[in-house]
Amino acid sequence: MKNSFCRALLALIFTPLLCLKIPAQQRALKIGDAIPEAVWTTPLQVVNHSSKTITLDKDRDKLILLDFWATWCSACLKGFPKMEDLQQQFGDKIKIVAVSSQDRPTLEKFFATKNGQRFKNVLSLSGDALLKEMFPHQGVPFIVWIKDGKLLTTTDGEQVNAGNLAQVLTGKTEVLQQVVQLNRDRPLMLSENLELEKAFNLNAYTFFGQGKIRGLGSGSHFHRLDSTVYGRQFYNISLAEIYTAIAGEILQRRGETFNSRQLVSELKDDRLFYNRFGADGRSNPEYLYTLDFIMPPEKAAGLYPAMLTALNAAGPYNGTLEKRNAACYILVRTAPDNKLKTNGGALEFTLRPSGGTVRNAPMAAFVNFLNGQPALKRPVLNETGYSGALDLQLGDISTLPKLQMELARYGLGLREATRSIDMLVMRDAE
């Protein structure tokens, strides 16, 4: 593993050319700020309560937790029973208030459903704008801790437990780790003070680190300028997921597809790469990674090769695309007449292993779909000579024989062959 690799790497490249506009700084309360009087005295809309409004004034002297949530957030709903139990356990020492920006009709409709009935005792603010302005956030659940009339900290839902509450009530606030909601449209962790430098422009940016960032979920995000993708974020996922996504983008721009079976591991121990531990294959938050990479829009055509180079330079592994002979399935014509060509119309791709429709969709999209099917244990290559849009109406394709039968109706077949194809080869860095 490289000596230069560490838990966080931050590199900034500055040029006088403007390539990235950073949004204006948000106005929000900071840790330690006194809660404005309006928060205590303004009547707040509420559901699941005998009154239509409440104020927080009578709870000033308590430890208050504002639990921001939404009806579509499964993690929020999962946390409600825990919040109710903690409220009962600590009684008048604490006050936990659910807060939603969704309006009253939406919440009442939700709580009337079979799923919502399980949470009918949850008192929740509705149509909130005031508190979200004071404590801006992008994701939920988001917990705001208020103590002694001041903003103590903000956390995720995982940190709300009996042990932490007991410690905070005795003044031991160091048990909490602040979670700052991050704006994924801007470079991660970049100080907003940089925006005050009016004569300075940010051209390129790289951020790479190991370990879970609590202020983010997990997934990917694009930096765009109109239709141009000039940057990409991957956050709180494994290195295997980051490398395969980058390799897939590189090959897609070459008109090729990438299958997970095109990843070759020559690593001495690939558990950290895949983030799989133990017999159950569970992941370890310590081996989640985040990469944010931005380059000048006029150089965006080389985005993913540049990302691969940067990741190899910063991380513990080297990934390269190399030609190797591999067993494949090749998609071929079995009949001379063209039954594939589309009749036009709106794009539709509702194909599943159980069957479905492909209408006016690119052949490349269909081949990508085949490459994602568990029943096909080898990469699929298009050797039909056709690369345009197509129409297909397929039945059950959940097994290779069933897929072959459905394809035959359109003069197509899958044959086993050996081809020299690009493989993503992973090696330990020297």
280 confidence band (pLDDT: 50, 70, 90) = low
Segments making up each domain of the chain, as ranges = 8-20+190-319, 37-175, 325-428
Q: What is the average per-residue pLDDT within 33-56? A: 95
Q: Which of 94, 99, 124 is nearest to 111 (CA)?
A: 124
pLDDT band at 10 (very low <50, low <70, confident <90, very high): very low
Q: pLDDT averaged over the chain?
A: 90
What pLDDT band is residue 180 in, cutting at 50, 70 and 90? confident
Residue 285, preceding peptide bond in cis (omega within 30° of 0): no
What is the rounded end-to-end Cα distance, in angstroms, of the chain? 6
Closest CA to 287 of 244, 238, 240: 238
pLDDT value at residue 279: 65
Q: For 259-266, what is the mean pLDDT? A: 91
137-164 pLDDT, tens digit each: 888 999 999 999 999 999 999 999 999 9
In the prediction, which pLDDT does 18 show? Answer: 35
pLDDT of residue 85: 97
> Given pLDDT bands bounded at 50, 70 and 90, which one contains residue 268?
very high
> Residue 136 is encoded by which pair of tokens?
């801006």
Q: Give yes or no for a contact between 78 and 69, defined as CB atoms under 8 angstroms apart.
A: no
Q: Considering the domain 37-175 in this protein, what is its CATH number? A: 3.40.30.10
Q: What is the pLDDT of residue 125?
A: 97
Mean pLDDT, residues 236-258 = 93
Report the residue count for the chain.
430
The residue among 373 and 16 whose pLDDT is bigger is 373
Question: Is residue 234 over pLDDT 60?
Answer: yes
For residue range 311-341, what is the model confidence (pLDDT) as tens digits? 999 999 999 999 999 999 999 999 877 788 8
pLDDT of residue 292 exceeding 70, the answer is yes
| pLDDT band, very low/low/confident/very high, at 414 (cuts 50, 70, 90) | very high
Distances in whole angstroms, Cα of residue 315 to Cα of each of 229, 259, 308, 351: 24, 23, 10, 38
Residues with Cβ < 8 Å from 227, sequence gap 6 or more?
none
Q: Which residues of 86-105 are buried (b: 16+ CB within 10 A; e: fewer)?
A: bbeebeeebbbbbbbbbeee
pLDDT at 3: 41
For residue 300 the two structure tokens come to 């965006």
- Comparing 113-122, 180-189, 198-207, which segment has the lowest mean pLDDT? 180-189
Q: What percent of the chain has pLDDT over 90?
A: 74
Query: How high is the pLDDT of residue 6?
Result: 41
User: Could you tell me which residue, 13 or 154, shows the higher pLDDT?
Assistant: 154
For the cut 60, the answer to whether the pLDDT of residue 14 exceeds it is: no
With 70 as the cut, is the pLDDT of residue 424 above it? yes
What's the rounded Cα separation, in Å, for the pair 20 and 10? 18
- Are 139 and 64 spatial neighbours (Cβ–Cβ below 8 Å)? no
